[in-house]
Structure 1
Amino acid sequence: MIGELNIEGVFVAPLAVWAVVAFGVNQLLRQVLIRVGLYRMVWHPALFDTALFVILWALVAALSAHLPFLQEPVR
C-alpha cells in the first residue's frame, strides 16, 4: 500500500478514500436491507449501521491491498 493517493494533484490518505467508498456501499446496502425488512428485527438501527460501516470499511481496506494498480512500482 502506498503512503498517499494523488487525486487531481491533491494527496489524500488512502484510509479516507476507503472510508468514502465504504460509506457509498453502506448506503446502498442499507437501502436494500430496509426494503427487505431486516430493520424490523434490528434492536438499535444506528448501532447496526455503524457496525456495518466499520465492517465494510475494513473489507474495502483489506481488498485494496490486492489491487494491482494501487501497488507501488518496483524501481
Structure 2
Amino acid sequence: MPREIAIGGALIPGLLPIFLGCAVLLWSIDFIVGRFDLYRYVWHPPLFRVALFVCLFGAAGLLLLP
C-alpha cells in the first residue's frame, strides 16, 4: 500500500480512503441499529459507536498488510 495517494496533485494519506469507507459503513450500521431500536441493549451508545469504528478501521487496516 502506498504511503500517499496523489489526487489532483495533492498528496493524501493512504489510510484516508479506508477511514472514509469505515465512517460510511459505521453510519449505515448506526442507522440500522437505531432504526430497529437495538441501542436499548447497549450500556453506553456513544462508547459502542467508537468501539465499533475502531474495530472496523482496525480490521480494514489489517486486511491491507502484505
Shorter chain as denominator, the TM-score bin is 0.7 to 0.9
What does 1:31-42 correspond to in 2, within 5 Å? 31-42=31-42
Structure with higher Rg: it is: 1
CA distance in 2, matches of 1:56, 1:8: 28
Higher strand share: 2
Structure 1 unaligned residues grouped into runs of 5+: 67-75
What residue number does 1:59 align with? 59
User: Matched residue of 1:43: which SS?
Assistant: coil
Q: 2: CA distance between counterparts of 1:5 and 1:42? A: 38
Runs of 4+ residues deviating >6 angstroms: none
Scaled by the length of structure 1, the TM-score of the pair is 0.74
Contact 1:22 1:56 in 2 (8 A): yes
Counterpart in 2 of 1:6?
Answer: 6
**Structure having greater relative contact order (Cα 8 Å, sep ≥ 6):** 1
Cα RMSD between the aligned structures? Answer: 1.6
CA offset digits 1:23-47 (Å, max 9, x no partner):
1110011001111221011110000
How many residues align? The count is 65
Which residues of structure 2 form unaligned runs of 5+?
none
Tell me which residue corresponds to 1:69.
none
Query: Equivalent pairs: percent with the same residue?
Result: 32
20-29 or 6-15, which deviates more: 6-15
Give the corresponding residue for 1:15: 15
